Chains A and B, each alone.
Chain A
């Protein structure tokens, strides 16, 4: 299961498991972002390299208009995946407290 929607403050809330089968849905939503955006991963349990690719594609597109993604409430396991992928240098990432 994977869900993505806007939260009450305009942040993008991601829930569940972002695997390769769910990337089309994630990409469809994220392609609509048109400025600085916050992704709330508080309820995102899992992400694979396919999901990382969608995040990277979105970040590159937003960078072209002087914007970017802030990713908050990242769990320890996804944090490790980001670290192995070198994403800390190219995203504004905040771990779950």
Chain B
């Protein structure tokens, strides 16, 4: 199922309701729904934050089969490869920690597969998470 969302943090509520409805209909367990919601938010927020002047909607598709497959398409945004490993020192002491930078790290740890394609201004992120069924 696909839905387009305005490129704004105010869309997060609708994004949650959309994906929750798709996964709840298939009675997926919380252990699947939570990381899917989190990965969707992190990826969506990245597309919003890194493209403040872009006005196109972000296309979101959620498909539930043996796995949950989520696609987010960003038309007109800058290239941002979320599959690239980021240096995040999770063992650093408090005084060396800085807010930010954890989003992609969490996505990479919580989903099963993560792909990114960028061509002619069109970026697409696809991730999967086992449906637990």
Hey, which bits of chain A sit against chain B, CB under 8 A?
17, 19-21, 46, 48-50, 52-54, 56-57, 59-60, 63, 76-77, 80-81, 84-86, 89-90
Contact = CB atoms under 8 A, between A and B. Distances in A.
| Chain A residues touching B, majority SS | helix
Nearest to A85: B102
B90 A86 contact: yes
Contacts of B31: 76-77
B81 interface: no
| Chain B residues touching A, majority SS | helix
Interface string B43-65: 00100000000000000000000
Interface of B: 9-10, 12-13, 16, 30-31, 34-35, 37-38, 41-42, 45, 89-95, 97-100, 102-103, 105-106, 109-110
B89 to A, nearest CB: 8
B41 A56 contact: no
